[in-house]
Amino acid sequence: MIRNYIKTAFRNLWRHKAFSVINITGLSVALGSCMLILLYTMDEVSYDRFNLNKDKIYRLVSTSTGPTGEVSKTASTGMMPGPAFKQQIPEIENFVRLQENSFIVKRGNDVFNQDALYADESFFSIFSFPTLRGDPKTALKDIHSVVLSEEVAEKYFGKQDAVGRVLDLKVNDAFQPFTVSAVVKQSPQNSSVKIKMLVPMKFAQSQFNDTQWFNFFLNTFFTVKPGSNLKAVEAKINSVFNRDAAAQQKEMAQKYGFKDKVKFSLQPLLQMHTSTDYPSDNGLKDASNPVYSYILTGIAVFILLIACINFINLTVARSLKRAKEIGIRKVVGGMRGQLVMQFLGESFILSFIAFLLAILLVQLALPVFNDLANKALAFSYLLSPKLVIGYIAIFLLTGLLAGFYPALVLSGFNPVQTLYNRQYFAGKNYLSKGLVVLQFTLATFFIISTITIYSQFNYLMHFDLGYDAKNVVSVNAAGAADEQKLELFKTELLKNTGIKSVTADQGGRWGTIAHINNGQQTNFDIKHIDEEYLSLFKIPIVKGRNFSKDMVSDSSNSVLVNETFAKQAGWRNPIGQVVDFFYSNKKYNVIGVVKDYHFASLSEKIGPELFSMNPKYPYGNIYIKISAKNSAEALNYIEKEFRQIFPFKPYQHTFIEAQNAENYDKEAKWKQIVTFSALLTIFISCIGLFGLAALSAERRKKEIGIRKVLGASVEGIVRKLSTDFLKLVIISSVVAIPAAWWAMHKWLENYPYRIKINSWIFLLAAALVMLIALVTVSFQSIRAALRNPVNSLRSE
Amino acid sequence: MSKNEEGSVMIKITDMEKFYRTEEVETIALNKLSIHVKTGEFVAIMGPSGCGKSTLLNILGMLDDPDEGSYIFNGIEVAHFTERKRADLRKHNIGFVFQSFNLIDELTVFENVELPLIYTGVPSSERVKRVEEVLDKMQIMHRRNHYPQQLSGGQQQRVAIARAVVNKPKLILADEPTGNLDSTNGNDVMELLTDLNEQGTTIVMVTHSEHDARYSHRIIRLLDGQAVVENIMI
């Protein structure tokens, strides 16, 4: 019997090729999307699971509650907690601290920037990173040892064995030799700890021995004895902290007015990757927000739903053609259950073909998907047993979802009616229409989302930031440019006609606290600049004056503030006001107010900012404005001069505009993801609509023939046939618009600077969907209307 | 006609009523109809369009159920059997032949004839034997791998009859079996039905054709859902 079913199914697929193609295309695209998303989600939840100690590794995290109740959370600690807690709390087996750092590495005459992690000796006994060469137990024992990943080892030593060889790392102003003690395999891509180079924590301590409990700059991990009561361990941690850090806390309160209450807790390693409270940062990689998984899963489910709706609608619409077969099968003894099984079987066969195609599609789409999702997923991951089970589940679900309703409807046909051609769909087909509405609602929703995200992205990219970043190149001097060197570099650069001006700041983003208005504490961003900075970036001074080299006091006790700073300080006349850096016992006078500009990304509102020109701080970033013409030549010149003035510094340049655009990488990715989703949903919806329109035209062949005989025009018939479908698309817009408005409104709330959702977005999306649907339906309607009525009436 | 007189009653219908209702109209298809058919009989049912012939045939074939009255098939009251029970009884006892052949286009001649055996759970080797036997008997063996649309009307009806008899049913219900055929093919089909009847199969045939009806032993004439005349063929 099964052979008979399979035979009939394949012959049916073959005979109705157009419908088979529509269904298989839709389902394979949908299944492919689901497989990719499943792969993504599995990867997300697999993070750090390869560690053998995964269930007993915890990261030390803390919350600080300020005097007014504001809570800040951090997953960073200083150097103190690790050894202190291990020593005093018996449940804690071991600890390892990881601190992010970057070294300049010298090999021959070449210098490189090398990302690294400081790690305690215990690293390899806590985390599971297999070594290729060297002994993991002793790898970080010697203060001047380094552990390299196979990739980094190859970069510096080629194919030769790196263990025992020496690498020169820049420490302060000189290069020091470090011996490679081990080479580890490339870290798994689903690891939050990514090893490039490990340097012993002991070395970091030799440079800066941190004894302050209230420093927060590295990650501390513990292994906790299995079966320990975690709450009790946390309580012990906090009691040790309260006792050991009491003196420092008192001092902090007296000296800096720091009155926050710090409370530690333990974050399980496996919760780290997708934690939004305590993300994997500060040297840990790939922090992820679970919301991406939810949104991507939602999109995949929608696409699958749309493809299944196509299958349901086309199968039910085509059922009249199969009615005779059903009647015969019933007459010769087929039971309803057997027919249900037959039709379900057909949907499974179709899903299976689509499933095979989907595997092919996944392979083709994986590189694009990896790029979109910031992943490095390989096709081979598809073969992991859990994923295979997941795929089979999706396949079965699809087969059932798509096949169940048609199977139920078709098997319920009355043989008397089907065999005497009395089977009509006299009803209004509300279900089928409802499903079309659902499809186009989703398509319209995605189109509105796409347009909104594009508009917001465009808005952010072209936002007037309040400064001119055009043709400004940033060169990283890695803190090596003191005042004299900067002057020399400037002088040399300005000899080139392609270079207009040069300035510098300390690089990175810094914040600090100070007292204003006689003791009022305030937080703000601080930037050390030179006197050219504001003019190069064309940032106006609204009150007072800029720094000047001619005024000696400017570099020692003058500052500029931005408008927000002055406003928050409540200064009517900011010039001459005092900012007291109480912790260093230094007071500065405000000499000018700078017009507000967006010094951070647009995901933040402009906050208070203060500028100083203190020469004791070295400059980290040098900004060079070049002329638009001959920029390549100017860039070559900059590099040449940099290498001469800053030997043993890796040269790196970026354009500020490109750097700013990187702030919106996330938006750019979402733009692409939603565009893809919109294209897929509209494509699958339209092929479904195309099929339905074809079937409708076929079913109404006789009606069209009669109308034509009675004098209806081709345009009239096309209008009649198309209007029915367009009505459904209009209803879809009505449903989709409020939903999309709500969702986009919520999304835009994340941006302090955002577009207003205008009605044109909705009208454009609705018009677009209507147009696409009209083109799709018209093709079939015109074909039907042009048919010779004699033929259609004769066949009746 | 002693054989018929002596045969036991296979079908006994008493006071049968069947209505078709729409929102506005109620049509009476069978109006207190009472007839019987004996085992081994060949009965023709005649009457004008809309008199209830096909409705009667569908009820006899257990494809439809009556609104009122009794239907005793081989001594069992089946008038209000569930669909499942009717299907079970049907597949073991009744074969159908239709005016429009009703073959499944996606299946070959062989597969069409094999279908009832599949539903009655006959093993594969036995099915091949029985299908070949019946195709041979219907002289359509050479077309076994063709699809219905590759056959002439007469050949299609032979396949349909082959399918109706492959399960060796006790009763064959034929609904205008020659309606779509020319006279030569029509006569062939009637000869086939007569042969089957002579081998013991009971046949009830709905027809408009007096010529075809003459092949039967008895004609029941219906009008407005009632049997008005019974002619016994001599």
The DSSP secondary structure of A320-336, one letter per residue, reads HHHHHHHHHHHHTT--H
Give the C-alpha distances (Å, rounded to integers) separating A64 from A67, A274, A522, A583: 10, 21, 18, 21
Contact B106 A11 (CB under 8 A): yes
Give the C-alpha distances (Å, rounded to integers) separating A703 from A211, A417, A669, A737, B49: 90, 21, 50, 36, 25
Residue A375 Cα, gap to closest chain B Cα (Å): 48
Q: Tokens 């009509």 appear where?
A: A424
Q: Tokens 């006789």 appear where?
A: A702
Residue A334 Cα, gap to closest chain B Cα (Å): 6
d(CA A783, CA A306): 26
Residue in B22, B56, B102 to test binding to A, most A beta-carbons within 10 Å: B102
Predicted complex ipTM exceeds 0.85:
no
Q: Starting from the edge strand earliest in sequence, which strands make up the sheet with B9-21, in order?
A: B26-38, B9-21, B68-73, B76-77
Contact B98 A419 (CB under 8 A): yes
Residue B75 Cα, gap to closest chain A Cα (Å): 21
**pLDDT on residue A481:** 67
Residue type, A550: D
Residue A338 CB contacts under 8 Å (≥ 6 apart), including other chains: A1, A329, B119
Q: Identify the three-state secondary structure at position A577.
A: coil
pLDDT, averaged across chain B: 88
Contact B106 A12 (CB under 8 A): yes
Closest Cβ opposite residue B120 in set A4, A330, A333:
A333
Query: Residue A349: its chain B contacts at CB < 8 A?
Result: none
d(CA B198, CA B49): 30
Contact B119 A12 (CB under 8 A): no
d(CA A343, CA A349): 10
What one-character DSSP code corresponds to residue A108? T
Q: Identify the three-state secondary structure at position B129.
A: helix
Contact B87 A338 (CB under 8 A): no
Query: Residue B96: its chain A contacts at CB < 8 A?
Result: 331-332
Q: What tokens were used for B59?
A: 């009820």
Q: What tokens were used for A741?
A: 């408005």
Q: Identify the three-state secondary structure at position B229.
A: strand
Query: Residue B114: its chain A contacts at CB < 8 A?
Result: 4
Contact B116 A338 (CB under 8 A): no
Contact A1 B105 (CB under 8 A): no
Residue in A1, A12, A328 to test binding to B, most B beta-carbons within 10 Å: A328
Give the C-alpha distances (Å, rounded to integers) separating A56 from A93, A266, A285, B159: 10, 11, 20, 74
Contact A332 B96 (CB under 8 A): yes
**B105: nearest CA partner in chain A:** A325
Task: Give the count of beta carbons closer than 10 Å to the beta carbon of residue B25.
Answer: 7
Contact B119 A338 (CB under 8 A): yes
Contact B104 A8 (CB under 8 A): yes
Helices within B76-225 (DSSP H only): 83-93, 109-119, 124-137, 153-165, 183-198, 210-213
Query: Residue B59: its chain A contacts at CB < 8 A?
Result: none
- Helix A714-748 to helix A759-786 angle (10° resolution) is 150
d(CA B167, CA B131): 9
DSSP secondary structure of A587-612: EEEEEEEEPP---S-TTS----EEEE
Closest Cβ opposite residue B91 in set A7, A8, A333:
A333
pLDDT tens column, A409-420? 888 888 887 777
d(CA A592, CA A560): 5
Residue B90 CB contacts under 8 Å (≥ 6 apart), including other chains: A331, A333, B61, B62, B63
Closest Cβ opposite residue B102 in set A8, A328, A338:
A328
SS3 for B160-196, per residue? HHHHHHCCCCCEEEEECCCCCCCHHHHHHHHHHHHHH
Contact B102 A338 (CB under 8 A): no
Residue in B111, B119, B124 to test binding to A, most A beta-carbons within 10 Å: B119
DSSP secondary structure of A152-207: HHHHHHTTS--TT-EEEEEETTEEEEEEEEEEEPPPPTT-SS--SEEEEHHHHHHH
Q: What tokens were used for A716?
A: 């009239």
Closest Cβ opposite residue B96 in set A11, A329, A331:
A331
Q: Is B201 exposed, middle or buried (0-12, 13-18, 19+ CB in 10 A)?
A: buried
Contact A333 B111 (CB under 8 A): no
Q: pLDDT tens per residue, chain B (234 residues)?
A: 334 444 689 999 999 999 888 777 888 889 999 999 999 999 999 999 888 888 899 899 988 889 999 999 999 999 888 888 888 888 889 999 988 888 888 889 999 999 899 888 899 899 999 999 999 988 899 999 999 999 998 899 989 999 988 988 999 999 999 888 888 888 988 998 999 999 999 999 999 999 999 999 999 999 988 888 777 766
The parts of chain A modelled with pLDDT lower than 50 are 426, 795-796
